[in-house]
Amino acid sequence: MTEDNVELEARLQEQEEFEPPESFVEQANVSDPEIYDEFDENWPECWEGAADLLEWYESYDQVLDDSDEPFYKWFTDGKLNASYNCVDRHIDEGRGDETAIEWVGEPTDEDNRTYTYAELQKEVNEFAAALRAQGVGEDDVVTIYMPMIPESPIAMLACARIGAPHSVVFAGFSADALATRMNAADSEYLVTCDGYYRRGDPLDHLDKANQGLSGVDHDTTTVVVERLRDGDGFDHDLDDDQHSYADLVSDHEGEEVEPVQRDAEDMLFLMYTSGTTGQPKGVKHTTGGYLAWAAWTSQAVLDIKPEDTYFCSADIGWITGHSYIVYGPLTLGTTSLMYEGTPDYPDRDRLWEIVEEYECDQLYTAPTAIRAFMKWGSQYPEKHDLSSLRLLGTVGEPINPRAWKWYYKHIGGEECPVVDTWWQTETGGMMVTTLPGVKKMKPGSAGPALPGVDVRIVDAEGEEVDAGNAGYLTVQKPWPGMLRTLYNNDDRFISEYWQAYSDPDSDNWVYFPEDGAKIDEDGYITVLGRVDDVINVSGHRLGTMEIESAIVGVEGVAEAAVVGGSHDVKGEAVYAYVITEDGYEENDELRSRIVEGVEDAIGPIARPEQVVFTPELPKTRSGKIMRRLLENIANGDELGDTSTLRNPEIVGDIEAKVSDD
């Protein structure tokens, strides 16, 4: 580094606030600071503007129906179709030749695939016709178990077209995880693929899907997309109830399917996510409110314009991919870029190569990726011209100021606002973040709540905490993108999200997302992390109970406790403390069976970083495992008071084992 650079770096590290660049503000979709007051004064009608971003067959009667709290309804009696909004409307508006999806496969010697809106319409129609011919009717749940290939959004939109809710299961999840989700949703249809590419090698995905299907407790029909190139395929014979995507689509060549008019409150999709118990939660999102939320936040926060090429590096198997690769960007008629592979294949500059080649305007990624980029070094982005970028975004977990500043400087060239967006699967879209054309940025803090979003940080009694103090994040007014319930489980919906801070007697309903946070004098919120038994590995939510039950299922394991320990790239990593059964040895063979057990039950993403054998777990006198203590051990932190333990002597032993490894 030159002396100038060192000085510059030091200045950047000290700077705590950043104004949005003038050049950005001038062209921003939202630049009027009055928007916050206007939305407050005009709530909930302020959300009409979001609904106006959509095309409706029939307009709604009421913006918000809160007659049955907390089962809120938005845009009641409005009729629309999400596939029409993401595809056909742009053709009707004369933009059929514009690019909808730009797809980059992982192999560098493979041609990219470009779908104009007109081409996307053709493909979505043909697949919708095929699904219907296979018996898929309105409200039948179709499971989509696919990686980052164009057929993923095509399948989602085909489902939306015929009013069949989709349930996308992340392709990295295991066969068991697929079966659990198909059973929970009573889903009789599966769309999957033969395989995909990871770090240059073809991966057999159908084998995993088939294993999953063997655990499904009802009859199913499967469609298999041919992703692998000739010569890379694996040997699989399709069963009678399995069909080739290519065959089906050619059988329905040129067919058109009239989009089904869905009620605003009809389910658009289900998405399973981890919670405190072992059973994943089926988060239900609707057609009107969700789509309006995805579109409005894409416009206001990501500043998406139809002429942009927008790149979100998330996977379609997570909510980020649903809202901010598919539904939001396509509703706005932009070009959404999808990349199949990892950021470090074939080299660590792959994303920067893509940004340069496709002249991307926005990049939306996760802190875990940014920390990896930082570790790899700025020489990788420096090899490329990233000047097309206008805005950067991050989501999934708190971002530390150092990583924020690195992103701002080395990717954004100090000329792009960075939006740190806090939200969840359940919220449907962004909730807390700066409006990039209006608000200054404070690295490490996501920002104020969006206009019209009522976030308050409260103590255990529900009283607002003073600026600077830690408390719990709550949302005190409903919003259009909110989940409507947990699939087939209204009781759990209430107990998970509404019980903690609501006062039903006085009709005061408060949503609790189970995050800790603090707020400063300017109303900027710093999210501190989950307060439930959920850990956040690389921005992905994993329930400790789910992992524990997988470990306890392994032969030779008597008891297990799983906690998150901090990790410099993943954010958090899985630490498993295991008690063996009598007669079993604490050895590497058992250790690898435990790791395998977790991979089989959930997927490689939940793989324990460390498996620590111990004769006992630290327990309170009432028999509760002291997780906090296990977390402190994993992090090498001070242990604090252990006097309430029944077995304080065990703590030192466990600590010694962790630091030995």
248 vs 411, which CB is nearer to ligand WT7?
411
The residues binding ligand WT7 (CB under 6 A) are: 273, 318-320, 395-398, 420-425, 446, 513, 515, 527, 529-530, 536, 539, 541
**Cβ pair 534, 546 in contact under 8 A:** no
Least CB distance from residue 110 to ligand WT7, whole Å? 29
Q: How far apart are CA 368 and CA 354, in angstroms?
A: 19
131 vs 319, which CB is nearer to ligand WT7?
319
Least CB distance from residue 524 to ligand WT7, whole Å? 12
Least CB distance from residue 426 to ligand WT7, whole Å? 7
428 vs 478, which CB is nearer to ligand WT7?
428
CA-CA-CA-CA dihedral for 45, 49, 53, 57, to nearest 10:
40
280 vs 396, which CB is nearer to ligand WT7?
396
Q: HEC profile for 322-340? A: HHHHHHHHHHCCCEEEEEC
Q: How far apart are CA 210 and CA 192, in angstroms?
A: 10
Q: How far apart are CA 497 and CA 511, in angstroms?
A: 6
202 vs 513, which CB is nearer to ligand WT7?
513
429 vs 452, which CB is nearer to ligand WT7?
429
485 vs 614, which CB is nearer to ligand WT7?
485
Angstrom CA distances, 47 to 96, 113, 452, stand at 29, 36, 8
Q: Which amino acid is located at 83 in the chain? A: S
Least CB distance from residue 191 to ligand WT7, whole Å? 22
Least CB distance from residue 540 to ligand WT7, whole Å? 6
For 350-374, b/e burial (b = at least 16 CB within 10 A) is: bbbbbbbebebbbbbbbbbbbbbbb
Least CB distance from residue 247 to ligand WT7, whole Å? 36
224 vs 271, which CB is nearer to ligand WT7?
271
Q: Which amino acid is located at 94 in the chain? A: G
CA-CA-CA-CA dihedral for 93, 98, 101, 106, to nearest 10:
180
Least CB distance from residue 201 to ligand WT7, whole Å? 28
DSSP string, 429-494: S--B---TTT--B-TT--BSBPTT--EEEE-TTSPBPPTT-EEEEEE-S--TTS--EETT-HHHHH
Least CB distance from residue 536 to ligand WT7, whole Å? 6
Least CB distance from residue 429 to ligand WT7, whole Å? 9
Least CB distance from residue 87 to ligand WT7, whole Å? 24
515 vs 533, which CB is nearer to ligand WT7?
515
- CA 365 to the chain's CA centroid: 11
- Reported for 624-632, long-range contacts at CB under 8 A and 24+ positions apart, including other chains, are 625/561, 627/533, 627/544, 627/561, 627/563, 630/561, 630/563, 630/575, 630/577, 630/654, 631/563, 631/564, 631/565, 631/575
Largest CA distance in the chain: 73
166 vs 540, which CB is nearer to ligand WT7?
540
Tell me the torsion sign for CA atoms 604, 606, 611, 614: negative
417 vs 618, which CB is nearer to ligand WT7?
417
Helix, strand or coil for residue 19?
coil
Least CB distance from residue 217 to ligand WT7, whole Å? 27
DSSP string, 437-450: TT--B-TT--BSBP
Q: Which two tokens stand for residue 144?
A: 């989509």
64 vs 395, which CB is nearer to ligand WT7?
395
Residue 68 CB coordination number (10 Å): 8
**Cβ pair 642, 618 in contact under 8 A:** yes
Least CB distance from residue 339 to ligand WT7, whole Å? 18
The radius of gyration of the chain from alpha carbons, rounded to an integer in Å, stands at 25
